[in-house]
Amino acid sequence: MEKITISDVLTLEQASAYLQLPTETVLTQALKGNIPGRKIETDWRFLKSAIDDWLSSKSSRFTLLEQAGIFADDDSLDHLRSAIYEARERPEIAPESREC
């Protein structure tokens, strides 16, 4: 296990400087769980290595879209999609709104 040093642990202000983002943005994203960090009583702490990992990782949306691409040639998807919409009693394409 790698030893964590004091310089590996960042305050909110240090994490903001490291990410080159406003402190408010880092705080908002940390509160939402989008940026890895921990609130300890009233203070936030961030592991520099966790931020580096987060920055270099693919977003969950990108991963989901990438996985969906694997099924692009699957002939059963059209039937499955139709069955889902039928079960939800919704059309596959939203009706266009008409402005009068």
pLDDT at residue 97 tops 60: no
- H/E stretch holding 16 reads helix 12-19
| Among the listed residues 21, 13, 2, 8, the one whose alpha carbon sits nearest the alpha carbon of residue 48 | 8
- Identify the pLDDT of residue 56: 84
| Tokens coding 37 | 């960090």
Confidence of residue 77 (pLDDT cuts 50, 70, 90): confident
Q: Give me the domains of the chain, ranges plus CATH numbers.
A: 6-56 (1.10.10.10), 58-90 (no CATH)
- Identify the pLDDT of residue 59: 66
pLDDT, mean of residues 4-8: 78
Confidence of residue 7 (pLDDT cuts 50, 70, 90): confident
Torsion of CA 33, 39, 44, 50, to 10 degrees: -50
